[in-house]
Every structure is written in C-alpha cells, then in structure tokens.
Amino acid sequence: MEGAGAAAVKSEKIWMNGSLVPYADARVHVLTHALHYSTAVFEGLRCYETPKGPAIFRLDEHIERLFNSAKIYSMKVPYSPEEIKAAISETIKANKFTECYIRPLIYYGLGGMGLTVPEHGTEASVSCWEWKTGESAAGKTTGARCKVSSWTRIDGRAQPVKAKAASNYANAVLARMEAHRDGYDEAIMLNGAGKVAEASAANIFVKRRGAIITPPLSSGVLEGITRDSIMRIIRDDGGEVLEHDLDREDLYTADEIFMVGTAAEVKSVTELDGVNISSGSLGATTKRLQELYTKAVTGADERYLGWLTYL
Ligand SMILES: Cc1ncc(COP(=O)(O)O)c(C=O)c1O
C-alpha cells in the first residue's frame, strides 16, 4: 500500500516523449486514448540516498517489468529500455532530488477514438516526486488498520494481472476507497477463489506458527519486486519463507502481517476488521525486516549493493 493520503506530487520537471518540460507544461490532450480506455502501463521505483550518492533500487527489474507490461498490451514503445533508464536519471537530476519516488508511464495517446488503439500513438513520460512513507523511519509502533475488501481482486482470466497496467488499478482504487469510507487505512483483497491475494498496492506476508508465508503468484497478485527482495532478505537472514495459499481466517490468527511494495516499503498491519494482530503493535519480525530492507535500499548492507544503480 501507499501512504494513507494521496501523495503530494511536486517537481520542477517531467520527462515527456524525449525531453524535459516544466511541471506545468506536462499535459495531455483530452482525447488521449488511455484517458478513456485505461490503456496505460507504468512502474513505481524509488531512489534512495546512499553513502556513494543517490541510487535507484532494482532499476533493471522495474524496467524489465515495464516493457513486459507494454508487450502484453502490444505497445510499440518508441524508446529502448536504456533510453527510459537514462530518462529516469535525467529527470531525478533535473529535479535535484536525492531521494524520490519515480513513475515511468507508457500510454496510448492521441490518434483516434474507439477501442482500436492508435497505431503510432504510444507515448512515454517519467515523473518523480518526494514521497516519504517509511514506517520504521517514522518511529511508529502501530501499523495499518485494514479491512478485507468486499471487492474481489481482478482475475487473470479477465485482465493480465502480471502487467502493471492502469486498468488493474480501478479495482484497487475501489478497494482503497471502500476501506477509507469504512474508517480503515487499507484494503486486503481476496481472489475469486476466496484466497488471500494482496493489498490494494502491495504484496502481503503473514507470520503464522513461526513460518513466514506469502500467497503464490498463481493467486493473481502482482509479481512484486519488493516481494522478491524481502523473500531473499528473509532467507539470507536465516529464515524460511513459504509461498502458499492463505485463507481469510489465517489472517485473523496470524502472529504478524506485513505489506511490502516500493511505495509502502515494509508496512505492518496491526488490525484487521477490528481484530488486533500482533497485540495491536509492530511485531518483532516486521521490525527486523523493516531494518534489513532499509539497510538494503540505502546501500548499508553490502550483500545487496548489486540492487543499486547510482545516478
Ligand atoms: C497491486 C500491487 N501489488 C504489489 C505491489 C508491489 O510491487 P513492487 O514491490 O514491485 O513495487 C504494487 C506496487 O505498486 C501493486 O500496485
């Protein structure tokens, strides 16, 4: 999940279709195809300050997922992965950020209405902004209050859930809105088979009877890059992590629940549907993983330096 409120997006420059433009000029036409039919794919990355300067966390994996998402939607991206990587560095530098969230977007633009996509209309942009959500950095002792959503997580038979596509997020936004309306911070979604899938914008892990478990990719979740990083960190720390289906009841009886994602980082769930998890406070495993993750992303743990791309 992201922070509880909407992120305040502010920057000097945005990269659009090959050049940096002032924030106020980064506009699209009202007949942009993506605006009508959700034909856009995107990524969310973070740049962190490290002892050797600002570095982007797992840049290659994010760009690979971006281009795979575009491929699933048959988008002819007019830039190479290397050009998008260069655009990301350029945009961060132009905004003089040392830490920020980064949002590359590829979308069908202008060139005709109707479901048929514009043949030459694929456009791209890179935005970045400061977005601090780190729970451990904020010294919080309680985590998110969540509810199991009445909305089912979209099914891979209806839409490609492995694509990080804008269209998938209408489902997530409905879940998030419902959670907020009902007084919670975040939603946890079940899949069509009633098994635990993920939060609206984060993967989920549960500690139960000493084991750390996360739903498998076959549960219809996004193949999260933080999920992959956390699994590696748990194993390197001598722990075991299992991928198997979880029922809703497994959440209520969990010792700890935490959500992971680029925006959310490692965020604990300390209440679900009015039931206290981990006695309503941050669990020891969640806390340890928050510390280890922070070290990994900020270049303080040399085992993970290979995950960093310096600006
Ligand atoms: C639906 C969903 N699941 C999981 C994640 C976590 O993915 P990642 O760790 O690659 O940021 C996100 C991130 O935005 C997401 O939107």
- Please list the alpha-helical segments (H only) found in the chain: 33-37, 59-72, 81-94, 168-181, 225-236, 248-252, 284-297
Has residue 4 got a pLDDT over 60? no
Ligand 1 atom closest to Cα of residue 164: 16
For ligand 1, atom 7, name the residue with the nearest CA: 224
- Where does the chain hold its CATH 3.20.10.10 domain(s)? 144-297
Q: What is the pLDDT of residues 280-295, one digit of tens each?
A: 889 999 999 999 999 9
CA-closest residue to ligand 1 atom 2: 201
Using CA atoms, how far apart are residues 99 and 49, in angstroms rounded to an integer? 6
User: Which ligand 1 atom minimizes the distance to the CA of 45?
Assistant: 11
Tokens of 264: 């959310």
More confident of the two residues 134 and 277: 277
**CB 161 less than 6 A from any atom of ligand 1:** no
In the chain, list all ranges with CATH 3.30.470.10.
Answer: 13-129
Distance of CA 49 to the CA centre of its chain: 19
pLDDT at residue number 134: 66
Is the pLDDT at 155 greater than 70? The verdict is yes
What lies within 8 Å, CB to CB, of 150 at 6+ separation is 178
- Tell me the pLDDT tens digit for each residue of 213-268: 999 999 999 999 999 999 999 999 999 999 999 999 999 999 999 999 999 999 99
Which residues on neighbouring strands pair with residue 271, listed in sequence order? 145, 276
Which pLDDT band, with edges at 50, 70 and 90, does 136 fall under?
low
pLDDT for res 1 = 44
pLDDT in tens, 37-76: 999 999 999 999 999 999 999 999 999 999 999 999 999 9
pLDDT digits (tens, 9 = 90+) for 88-124: 999 999 999 999 999 999 999 998 888 988 777 899 9
Catalytic residues: 164
Q: Shortest CA distance to 129 belongs to which of 26, 31, 36? A: 26
pLDDT the model gives residue 120: 74
Question: What CATH number does the domain located at 144-297 have?
Answer: 3.20.10.10
In this prediction, residues 206-210 reach a mean pLDDT of 93
Nearest by Cα to 48 from 185, 232, 284, 229 = 229
Q: Which residues lie closer than 8 Å to 94 by C-beta, 6 or more apart? A: 12, 13, 20
d(C-alpha 194, C-alpha 207), whole Å: 20
Q: Is the CB of 109 under 6 A from ligand 1?
A: no
Under 8 Å CB-to-CB from 299, ≥6 apart: which residues? 48, 50, 51, 52, 55, 305, 308
- Amino acid 3: pLDDT: 43
Rounded CA separation 199/251 (Å): 12
Q: What is the 203 CA–ligand 1 centroid distance (Å)?
A: 6
Residue 68 contacts by C-beta under 8 Å, 6 or more apart in sequence? 162, 163
Confidence of residue 2 (pLDDT cuts 50, 70, 90): very low
Q: What dotted CATH number matches 13-129?
A: 3.30.470.10
For ligand 1, the distance from its centroid to the CA atom of residue 40, given in whole angstroms, is 16
Gyration radius from the chain CA atoms:
19
Hey, whose CA ends up nearest to atom 1 of ligand 1? 201
